[in-house]
Amino acid sequence: MFEKVTGSLAYRLPYFYRHLVKFKTRPKIERKVFPAATIVMMTGKNYLTMSSMSLLSMIKAWDSLPRLVVMGDGTISVPEIKNKISFWPGELLIEDWGVTAAYHSGKKRNALLEYADHHPFGKKLAVILRYAEQSPVVWIDSDVLFFDNFTPFIPQKRDGWACGGSEDFEAAYHHQVLRLLGSNFHDQYKFNAGVLYVSGEGIYEQFDLEQVLAKIHPDYDFCTEQSIFAQIASGSLGVLWSGNVIRNFNADNQQIKAMPVDKIIARHYTSNVRHLFWRDAFFHI
């Protein structure tokens, strides 16, 4: 009986914390500029508060801040986003999804735009590839919190294209995509696209993603975009950040107590533990 009550509270309390974090102060903290990469994120009406908490965790934990680009997903206006994240102390660009759509339309990446129309991860793929063609990008999902300085773990710019991601606790892929890309992954390659480093022009064409996305349309999977980045990264930086740097696990999904964050750089709160994001944001950020 006690375990059932505890388990129930573990899921219910975080939604109380979700309301309370809206009242957390956004301190004015000055940070040095980190020039080696641009942070890119996407947000929307349903997860704007989560995005703002992720950004607040960066401000508090990182010793320097890159330029930040936040893309709206089409469900929220640019002024609404700006009002919510105006506390960001560094360089900030906020754009609507339509700007990225126009960019790829000009390059005739029609299958990518179809994917984006059908699935939010298609928009994520499009946004990352667009900005990676301009400068090195660190993509961060909104459900990531930072508890210590992450900047030493961001690669320096290198010649050519580059791609790397974080370590997952399981191998989760869209196998049709892997077959089309000629991937030879094994279960031990546990790649997660919640935090990515991507840089370089022409990645879309080099991996023939127009044909891949056209062939799987409209049968997109939750892991379609992750599988694409896993394949790209397999010939580059691979799993760039181990589970010791960006934690990704679900063993505490019914834990009421906040996660101890000593010696933890960051955690990615994937869908099965997303409720715990609010718990740890409330107690640690």
pLDDT (tens digit per residue) in 188-200: 689 999 999 999 9
What Å distances lie between residue 238 and 198, 204, 283, CA to CA?
Answer: 11, 18, 33
In this predicted model, what pLDDT tens digit does every residue of 120-135 receive, in sequence order? 999 999 999 999 999 9
Write down the mean pLDDT value for the chain.
92
Could you tell me which residue, 35 or 68, shows the higher pLDDT?
68
Three-state DSSP class for 63? coil
H or E element that contains 207: none
Per-residue pLDDT band at 168 (split at 50, 70, 90): very high
pTM of the entire structure?
0.94
Q: What is the largest CA-CA distance in the chain?
A: 60
- Find the mean pLDDT for residues 136-148: 98
H or E element that contains 254: none
Buried b (16+ CB within 10 A) or exposed e, 78-90: eeebeebbeebeb
CA 67/CA 33 separation, integer angstroms: 8
Count other Cβ atoms within 10 Å, centred on residue 156.
7
The lowest-confidence range among 18-32, 40-54, 90-104, 220-234 is: 18-32
- Report the pLDDT value the prediction gives residue 209, as an integer from 0 to 100: 98
CA 16/CA 11 separation, integer angstroms: 10
- Report the pLDDT value the prediction gives residue 3, as an integer from 0 to 100: 53
- Report the pLDDT value the prediction gives residue 11, as an integer from 0 to 100: 66
- Report the pLDDT value the prediction gives residue 13, as an integer from 0 to 100: 78
Bridge partners (DSSP) of residue 195 are 140
- Report the pLDDT value the prediction gives residue 5, as an integer from 0 to 100: 43
- Report the pLDDT value the prediction gives residue 207, as an integer from 0 to 100: 96
Burial of residue 182 (number of CB atoms within 10 Å: 0-12, 13-18, 19+): exposed
In this predicted model, what pLDDT tens digit does every residue of 1-37 receive, in sequence order? 445 545 556 667 777 888 888 877 777 777 889 888 9
The answer to whether residue 172 scores a pLDDT higher than 60 is yes
- Report the pLDDT value the prediction gives residue 24, as an integer from 0 to 100: 78
- Find the mean pLDDT for residues 79-104: 96
Burial of residue 245 (number of CB atoms within 10 Å: 0-12, 13-18, 19+): middle
Bridge partners (DSSP) of residue 56 are none
For residue 230, what is the DSSP state?
A: H
The answer to whether residue 72 scores a pLDDT higher than 50 is yes
Three-state DSSP class for 36? strand
Domains by residue range for the chain, with CATH = 2-284 (3.90.550)
CA 52/CA 25 separation, integer angstroms: 12
- Report the pLDDT value the prediction gives residue 2, as an integer from 0 to 100: 41
